[in-house]
Chain A
Amino acid sequence: MIHTDICIIGAGPVGLFAVFEAGLLKMRCHVMDVLPQIGGQLSEIYPKKPIYDIPGYPVVLAQELVDNLEKQIEPFNPTFTLGERVEKIERLEDGAFLLETNEGTQCQAKVVVIAGGLGCFEPRKPALEKIEHFEGNGIDYMVRNPDKYTDKRIIIAGGGDSALDWTIFLAEHTEHLTLVHRGSSFRGAPDSADKVLKLAEAGKITLHLNSQVTALHGNGVLNECLITDKTGKASKVATDYFIPLFGLSPKLGPIAAWNLNLDRNQIQVNTEDYATNVEGIYAIGDINTYPGKLKLILCGFHEAALMAQSAYRTVSGGKKASLKYTTVNGVQSF
């Protein structure tokens, strides 16, 4: 069990800077993120993109900004749980919070700060009737354990790199593999596209281009998919598994179930201290909303500073924080 003053959910730039602001007020932080590395979307999605609106930097690369933030918070010795998603928040009798991840890691904190950005990236699900009935009963949205498909019949849908890569990988091991792609060609790596077409020519897989899976059949467990092509011609294909690979899209995830006031999938906060409607839980950065909200890194930094002043009262048991200029006091590490 991890014990800390503040548990920050989200290791993007705003979550990282919150460690700094909390540190100036001598509060310890533990940071959790579903991604395996810090930096949030800056590191995950656009590490090489230049950012032009960070004060004091005419231009800075996204990854460079993350590296600098990491260095900036080093004196405050934050701890991290990466690659795990916070699933549950529970309030304990003494008012503190107990957080638990999908891997069972627990963290106890006096204050929770949600700096979750866009939310968690989750697999995009095709709009098919009863698809949720078959989740785990024949439908998988990602390939976690390829052995599972050995000597089974599977249908993969999608035209991106992951659909191509898994098709190539699984073609050898499955009893039969069908790849369904909406388009007439593949935009993925030309090399992989080529391999897939060769597998189809050699009869190792069945390829349905200009087609989509349009219906799912089975009694509790999936046993058949209906594949329809652009001309409307439909064919039934018996299968053990259907794996739609349509990329990831950002979703709020478990946060939606934490009794926080939401507005269009963002967390409502007041602008005095960026507190949510639940005492002791704050939300800063892209994940919050308030009148006039701008989704800018620099606004998130500001929110982190105000949040820290307010959180100090809770963490210290009612004391008011005094504003400390780093020019006067420097950075007192711990």
Chain B
Amino acid sequence: MENIRIYVEETEGEFREVEAPIDMGLSLMEILKASEYPIAATCGGMALCASCHIEVLEGDAYKEASDAELDMLDTLPVVSDSSRLACQLRLSEDMDGLRIRLLATEE
């Protein structure tokens, strides 16, 4: 498989398709930043700042959060049941078709 497709909510109900390679070991946060979405990702991918907080609207990617990630999510005032830190999602084949919403865009 070459690339997968991720769908990012732009405005309510409207999605933009983002194509992402899966052979480079990138995280979802990295591909979102590269696609110029306004997420800070301040800590650089260590699950320390939650500034890449997203909600998975469709897809199974929320099943395997690590303890470090759950701990960080737990400190946030607002999370949903399918909240994730994009930096902790390593792009893989089974994420093809994932639909997400950004929850931590920069002010």
What residues of chain A have their CB less than 8 Å away from a CB belonging to chain B? 41, 45-46, 118-119, 124-127, 157-160, 182-183, 187, 212, 244, 246-247, 249-250, 264-265, 286, 295
Chain A nearest CB from B80 CB (Å) reads: 10
Once bound together, how far apart are the Cα atoms of A182 and B76, in whole Å? 9
Complex contacts, B74 vs chain A, CB 8 Å? 159-160, 183, 187
Which chain A positions have C-beta within 8 A of B1?
A: none
Q: Assess whether A126 is in contact with B71, with CB atoms less than 8 Å apart.
A: no
Please, which residues of chain A bring their CB within 8 A of the CB of B70? Answer: 187
Q: A-contacting residues of B (Cβ < 8 Å)? A: 38, 40, 42-44, 46, 48-51, 70-72, 74-79, 106
* Alpha-carbon distance A41/B45, docked complex (angstroms): 14
B106 touches A127 (CB 8 A): no
A255: shortest Cβ distance to chain B, in Å?
Answer: 14
Q: Is the CB of B50 within 8 A of A127?
A: no
Chain B neighbourhood of A159, CB < 8 A: 74-75
23 A-B pairs (CB sep. < 8 Å)? A41-B43, A45-B46, A118-B49, A119-B42, A124-B75, A124-B77, A125-B77, A127-B77, A157-B77, A158-B75, A159-B74, A159-B75, A182-B79, A183-B74, A187-B71, A244-B77, A246-B75, A247-B75, A249-B42, A249-B49, A249-B50, A249-B51, A250-B42
Q: What separation, in Å, do the CA atoms of A246 and B71 have in the docked complex?
A: 11
B70, closest chain A residue (CB): A187
Between B50, B70, B76, B78, the greatest number of chain A beta carbons within 10 A of the residue's beta carbon is seen for B76
- In the bound assembly, the distance between CA atoms of A127 and B50 in angstroms comes to 15
The answer to whether A250 touches B49, judged by C-beta atoms less than 8 angstroms apart, is yes
Chain B residue at minimum C-beta to C-beta distance from A250:
B42
Cβ contacts under 8 Å, A119 to chain B: 42
Q: Which of B44, B50, B77 contacts A295 (CB 8 A)?
A: B44
Interface centre among A119, A127, A247 (most CB of B within 10 A): A247
